[in-house]
Amino acid sequence: MTQPPEGPTADPTAAGVPTCYRHPDRETWIRCQRCDKPICPDCMRDAAVGFQCPDCVKQASKGSRQNRAMYGGERSADPRLTTFVLIGVNALVWLAITATGGRSSWLTHLLALRPVGVCDPGNGSLYDIGEGVCEASGATFQPGFSDGAWWQLLTAAFTHVEIWHVAMNMFALFIFGPVLEGIVGRARFLAIYLVSALAGSVMVVWFSYEFSSTVGASGAIFGLLGALLVVARKGRAQSQWLVQNLVIGVVITVVGWRFISWQGHLGGLVGGALAAAVIAYAPKSRRSLVQWAGLALVLAVLLALALVRDVALS
């Protein structure tokens, strides 16, 4: 057995005495339970068993449940941010449409969802005439989904003409969006929103009048309602206010069926509920993989349905 050197000039490291990894001048015989590094009293952090060093505690906190949303997504620092971005995009598109002619704007014709294209001679009327004949007559052909304008399946959900329409939809998005993002996280919230919008558009091209024009984020909003109902049921949370809002939405759809796309509302509701079910009921083992694979499958089914309809309309 040896004795450590004594006196003010003694060097603990020279004698083989362990010192704190953060404070080399402090002798210590305590080690981190995770990495086994020596730690002094100032660096000791209470753990379930023994003590851990600050580095291990910081590393563990990054992957802790406190930083995860309810169904495995990363918790949003500000669950309102995605909603504000979506509101901003919708508002900018509405302003651009208003500044370029409103309902007659070229942007409206480009972004609105129309199952089949129409001929626009510029006199306020639209005609069911083929593209070749239409352009030969000097008129403008407004392409639809079946003419290759597949982008309309998504752009229609960001397109509004009347101010009351964009105001109502954005108010609903402001109410429901942050709630859902706070539950599932930012990426999954955005996935649900876009799947809902796409599902509403697919229902429109299947069951709407072929030459009708559909715009608005209502399908995506109904999708958020459907998603909230699913996660509330899964979490056994109070959902009465959601049911009340859904009933109000159904009543408005039924009363204004001539001016409101029930197809978009119903498709969005089903799409949002299905996407949320994939997220909420995924097993905890490899949860993220199952969730994203499930959402990809839902997306593939929607695109396949759109393709079948495209072939039928062409």
d(CA 27, CA 11): 10
Phi, psi values for residue 68, rounded to 5°: -115, 145
* pLDDT reported for residue 110: 94
* pLDDT reported for residue 57: 79
Residues 169, 219 contacting (CB under 8 angstroms): no
Cβ neighbours around 306 below 10 Å, total: 18
SS3 of 156-189: the string is HHHCCCCHHHHHHHHHHHHHHHHHHHHHHCHHHH
* pLDDT reported for residue 62: 58
Residues serving a catalytic function are 218, 265
* pLDDT reported for residue 115: 95
pLDDT averages per 10-residue partition of the chain, 314 residues: 47 66 86 86 74 81 61 84 97 97 91 92 78 82 92 97 95 94 93 97 94 93 95 80 79 70 93 96 92 97 96 89
d(CA 246, CA 179): 16
Q: Is the pTM of this model over 0.75?
A: yes
Host H or E run for residue 142: strand 140-142
C-alpha to C-alpha distances, 178 to 37, 75, 172, 205, 295, nearest whole angstrom: 43, 12, 11, 30, 21
d(CA 151, CA 268): 17
* pLDDT reported for residue 271: 97
* pLDDT reported for residue 163: 96
